[in-house]
Structure 1
């Protein structure tokens, strides 16, 4: 019964955690989509500002923002169309938006052409006809309607996220209560432990109450700002340990009660040579230890998952530091920590040339390189001698490092999935929870870049880590 209960806890927690993560990502995507729609209106306003400036002054400098916006708006509408259709915006609304922008850009282009041809009065006449104002007002109304649908879509995902977290709290609370009752019933056969059980139940009730309040608070915070998602994940993961600790404690109590019963059977074994006695002995010596072993292994698995979620949450909240870093030395230090495993596996490592110097966060880069090199070692092909090649370069305001191996490779359909939380690819014959690469991508993006992968199944894999060469520039951009 204990094994079944804990299995339900683990499966339920993993399912609802996955749902919560998915809905959180969708809510963030919805917010970003709204921002892109709003920037579309801003581009139209920039074009109009450039047009008016050119009409008033005749200065060609005002044509730059007009020309840039006029060129960007059609391509941005084309890029937004599939995403807006996916959230339920009617095709007719998008066609209408496209016609309005085309008419508005055409109207502005006519005035610019007239002014350029030496006919400012003709251009001003078009402006005074109020056609442009009418088109811009209609364009604003259309974008407002599209944004209303986007806001509804975001609210739907936030509501689904709240439902998933509430369900997660409920399944943990109910399952923990059932396990408490099971432990209390077993111990009652041996001795009276009523006071301890009541105290433990009170602690569990307090922990569940605190967890529910925290989840509710963080869900409301998610509706106010997207950047609170990481703090929310940290709080939920941290408080999930409270019922897990209680489950672990009651498991130990059940183990101790089983030992007492086992000792009792050992002392009175001569009088228990019946079918019921044999069944009792088998339960104490075989069934219960096996069940407890499964419970403990499941608890360790769940604790490890919670720890990995906490690592991601802390990484997202940690303040980045700008340090001068020679990537060659950082990679050499990382390889030194892995030297024993490299030598044991007979893997040859080649650092090609001198890696660039950057101003970035040392700890984040150490974690990125450590994860990627650890994966390269872990997933080598045992049928051939392993090789790892590392090279880097500086390009503009960015620096990149490529780590290539001749290991197992990654199937085409898994090349993006491996960056998702708790997702792994290929044979599951190596330890891991599918968190490392998600952590690497999150860190790389915080450092102003990203991580991408190129791979051929059975031939090898190359991970490219791109970061801002100077973290100070990234921070300045964040403040704008």
Structure 2
């Protein structure tokens, strides 16, 4: 069925409206998900503050009780120093705890009853200390043996445990909700991209059909009586106006639908160029179209158009890959860690063996220098960290010299150790030292395949283990990535990391 001008305009308006609706849907959904994520983040922050206040008060109360019992057992006044230092902090710590916990727990916990228990416990400790100071140690010990203080402390510990458990549960729930946000964002992006692809495809099909109709109309004009000059001029004016409408329509599609999917709309410019090639042949004056014009128009219709659409699909697939990369890092932050004893030297040897063939192919060599005891950590995370760093060292080795790798592990003060991967590769410019850890950011010449998520993933894994990663590098000479971690992962409270 021939496409009239009115139908073409209606089709164009319909496609533009569908594209606009898809764009608004993507923007609206993205804004809503961002607002939702912000709310979740605020709630998680409040719970972490409440958890920290709970832990601080619990530690202070336990220190006071330990100091009291040490004094009663030894009569040594030095044991009272922690008591005298901490007892004055308990009231402010309780006030901070009540101000943060009460709005979060509501009626689930009677905070005032907890205050009564703490007050009674402090009074009990003060009485026993005073009795001991006045030489009535037996009475003080008898008061302790009544278990009144133990019952009060048990009640306080139950409150602490309940609050910490609630905070941890809320943190896990918040992380789960954040992951669902990323999944929803991916679905919205894919559906929106599919709709826009359909809009672009429908627009191209309509333009091609309309152009074919114009070509048929020109043939009819040529078949008319040569003496009907006025009719020919009228039809020519119609064709010129139609050409302007097609060009204006192509501009609207390539301009107004660019915002949500920049890469996709970049390739629609190819569609616009292809349309002009076809129009140059279709709209040429009778008899003036060359064989080259016809050949280019045919080539454009058969090859250029399908190629551009293929690029658009490829861009959509690329976006899905980036979203999956984010989800990968998000899920890694929620993966339960499994602390286990690890022989660092053996672990490094096994990981190094997996890339040994690549090192040998480049006439390179690798050395190990391990001076740490067995550690307790999550083996999978450690292997991924080292594996990523070794892969990068091999991947970005210098072309003018054999690769030299050095893996070093040494113990540090504070029950921590460092693990460093040193190479003599390309190196990283000073201004890019921090940038390389950002998601989807890469430094230097981009002649290797990759999306810029490896080091961001390594930083996420390192921080989940209670550590951090840093880099020292000189451009053109090599790099050293240093990971600092605790010797025992069980000493790290993951929700606070």
Q: Normalising by structure 2, report the TM-score.
A: 0.50
Task: Give distance in 2, aligned partners of 1:300 and 1:386.
Answer: 35
Partner SS, residue 310 of structure 1: helix
1:113-152 Cα distance to aligned partner (Å, 9 max, x none): 94xxxx6239979x99xxxx9xxx9xx99xx9xx9xxx9x
Distance (Å, rounded) in 1 between the aligned partners of 2:246 and 2:88:
75
Which of 472, 483, 490 matches 1:464?
Answer: 483
Distance 1:476 1:23 in 2: 20
Instruction: Work out whether 1:443 is the aligned partner of 2:461.
Output: yes
Equivalent residue for 2:136, pick from 121, 125, 133 = 121
1:351 pairs with 2:367: yes
Of 304, 308, 314, which residue of structure 1 is paired with 2:325? Answer: 308
2:264 corresponds, among 294, 304, 325, to 294
Q: Which residue of 2 aligns with 1:276?
A: 242
Equivalences for 1:250-265 in 2 at 5 Å? 250-265=195-210
Deviation digits for residues 135-183 of structure 1, max 9, x if unmatched? Answer: xx9xx99xx9xx9xxx9xx9xxxxxxxxxxxxxxxxxxxxxxxxxxxxx
Check 1:418–1:426 CA distance in 2 against 1; reply closer, same or farther (3 A cut). closer
CA 1:74 to 1:475, structure 2 compared with 1: closer, same or farther past 3 Å? closer
Q: In structure 1, which of residues 362, 368, 390 is the aligned counterpart of residue 385 of structure 2?
A: 368
Superposition deviation, residue 274 in structure 1: 1.0
Corresponding residue for 1:329? Answer: 349
Any gaps of 5 or more consecutive residues in structure 1? Answer: 88-99, 155-220
- 2:58 equivalent in structure 1: 39
2:56 corresponds to 1:30: no
**Aligned in 2, Cα 1:71/1:222: closer, same or farther, shift over 3 Å?**
closer
Is residue 403–residue 462 contact of structure 1 (8 Å, CA) maintained in 2? yes
Residue 244 (structure 1) aligns with: 189
Tell me which structure has the larger Cα radius of gyration. Answer: 2
Counterparts of 2:42 and 2:398, CA distance in 1: 37
- Residue 196 of structure 1 corresponds to none
Paired residues of 2:33 and 2:185 also in contact (CA < 8 A): no
- In structure 1, the residue matched to 2:299 is none
Q: Which residue of 2 aligns with 1:408?
A: 429
Does the Cα contact within 8 Å between 2:416 and 2:484 map onto a contact in 1? no
SS at match of 1:274: helix
Q: What's the CA shift for 1:22?
A: 4.9
CA distance in 2, matches of 1:278, 1:269: 13
Confirm or deny: 8 A CA contact 1:380 1:407 kept in the other structure: no
Alpha-carbon displacement from aligned partner over 1:3-37 (angstroms, at most 9, x marks no partner): 86488469747954774575366335313322233
The SS at the match of 2:204 is helix
Deviations 1:455-474 (CA, angstroms, capped at 9, x unpaired): 478695542242546x7x67
**CA positional deviation for 1:267:** 1.2
SS, match of residue 273 in structure 1: helix
Match of 1:393 among 403, 410, 429: 410
| Mapped contact 2:40–2:174 kept (Cα < 8 A) | no
What is the alpha-carbon distance in structure 1 between the residues aligned to residue 77 and residue 479 of structure 2?
50
Shift of 1:401: 1.2
SS in 2 for 1:36: helix
Partners of 1:59 and 1:301 in 2: CA distance:
70
Question: 2:273: which partner in 1?
Answer: none
Q: Distance in 1 between matches of 2:239 and 2:492?
A: 77
CA RMSD in angstroms, aligned pairs only: 6.2
Cα deviation for residue 277 of structure 1 reads: 2.0
User: Following superposition of structure 1 onto structure 2, how do residues 67-78 of structure 1 map, counting pairs within 5 Å?
Assistant: 69-70=82-83, 73=86
Equivalent-residue separation in structure 1 for 2:88 and 2:403 (angstroms): 46
Deviates most, 380-389 or 269-278: 380-389
- SS of equivalent residue, structure 1 residue 353: strand
Q: Number of aligned pairs? A: 360
